[in-house]
Chain A
Amino acid sequence: MTVLVVGLAVAVGLLGVLVAGLLRGHAEVLRALHQMGVDMDPGRERPGHSADAGRVGVGAPGRAGPPGTRPTPERPADTDVIDLTGVTPRGDAISLAIAGVRHDTLIAFLTSGCATCRGFWDTFRSASVQVPGGARLVAVTRGSEAESPGTVANLAGDVPVVMSSEAWEHYDIPYAPYFVYVSGPGSRVVGEGVAAGWEEVKVLVANAVADGTTSPSQAGRAGGGRSGADRRRDDIVDRQLRSAGIEPGDPRLYPTSIADSTSGE
């Protein structure tokens, strides 16, 4: 009898240690997620926003679901892109073009308070930041009703900063830091998600660029598109036109009469 009681006591003790270990591991996971800006409190979760919903790599559209779906379902169309209009931390009025332009834009939605964002601010401030593929990097914080312009000004480096709560609402940003990659020629969001560090963002964007995900031709052709041979032919023609000084939008590409089309010959 004594042996049985002692055995049960030992078993209960071991189970207690096991449960304590599991709870500790769970707490560490929650703490790590909180430091990344992910709030797991179910009481604060917005409808349609689970923490896993945003878990898609920057520049990797559709990898968390069917092609064309977005991790933030309140903005259903990936072509629902607006320019970034607001103020700078110094109080200047600013509007940066995102859609219908030749360059792509990587938008970093950051706050001045979250620990993970601090790492990005430090990176943006420390050196000339290059985005793979040559996209323009823009940092966006909430407006002055939610952020201190002075604090943001001290964090900002040479990277353009727009303070705009409207942009946060329109792009339906679930938490910070959050990155949105917009194809300028395609006027389309081609990738978005969270990342813990700048190197991670660079790798994800570089992969997307290498995959052709960020190219305007791909952006404008969800669900298929031209063959590789056609794309290679397009690239050759583009290079030859550029070498002749003819850029996209050049009026010579759009003759209005036969006389126009032959006037340069």
Chain B
Amino acid sequence: MTATVSGFGLSMTVPTGWEAVIYRRPSTPGETTHPVAQAATVAIPAQRGDYGGGIVETLGSTDVFVAFLEFGPQAAGSALFPTTDVVPAVTADSYRPRQLQRTVQGQAGVQRFFTIAGRSFCLYSVIGSVSARVALASAANQLIGSFQVQPLP
């Protein structure tokens, strides 16, 4: 059975065995925070980092972590965040051991930047085993393909 989580104008359909959360950290005076959507095939703890700190360390060889981190409106449509009609998928070969916020033995990561519905995002995904990247990239794409973005009012 799949579930759909939605919040802050974002939504995604959660495949069986996955967990997901869409949140926005409280801001301090003078600070602006933006929504973050995370999904993983492992338990998502209450204390975690936006880029999966506290989650990716627990990934096994068959696990996947996916995060969409929104950036401010000033980034929308910029060179780093090209406008697209669909959320970009990942390929097995796009996962690289060095594309991690923190290198973890055996894992691999990928980043994609894009603007959709006038909102800019970084897609960040980590797989637990680079040798199983074909199957794990397919699993990641199942989640990524369900990510929906509503324009801000």
Contact = CB atoms under 8 A, between A and B. Distances in A.
Interface residues of A, number: 27
Nearest to A250: B61
Given A158-B47, A159-B46, A251-B132, A85 B21 contact: no
B41 to A, nearest CB: 8
A92 B62 contact: no
A251 B22 contact: no
A10 interface: no
A86 B12 CA distance: 13
Nearest to A166: B3
A97 B135 contact: no
Contacts of A251: 62, 132, 135
B7 A96 contact: no
A87 interface: yes
B14 A249 contact: no
Nearest to A138: B43
A97 B26 CA distance: 25
Nearest to B106: A245
Contacts of A93: 5-7, 20-23
Looking at A88, A94, A95, A249, which has the most chain B CB atoms within 10 Å of its CB? A95
B147 to A, nearest CB: 13
Contacts of A250: 61-62
Contact of A82 (B1, B6, B132): B1
Contact of B7 (A91, A97, A158): A91
Given A85-B5, A158-B47, A250-B62, A96 B135 contact: no
16 contacts: A82-B1, A82-B3, A85-B14, A92-B7, A93-B6, A93-B21, A93-B23, A94-B5, A95-B19, A96-B43, A97-B18, A97-B43, A99-B16, A100-B16, A136-B43, A160-B46
Given A93-B5, A99-B1, A160-B45, 13 more contacts: A82-B1, A82-B3, A83-B1, A92-B22, A92-B24, A93-B6, A93-B20, A94-B22, A95-B19, A103-B43, A249-B60, A250-B61, A251-B132
Closest CB pairs A-B (n = 3): A93-B7, A92-B23, A93-B5
Interface of B: 1, 3-7, 14, 16-24, 26, 41, 43-47, 60-62, 132, 135
Interface of A: 82-83, 85, 87-88, 90-97, 99-103, 136, 158-160, 245, 247, 249-251
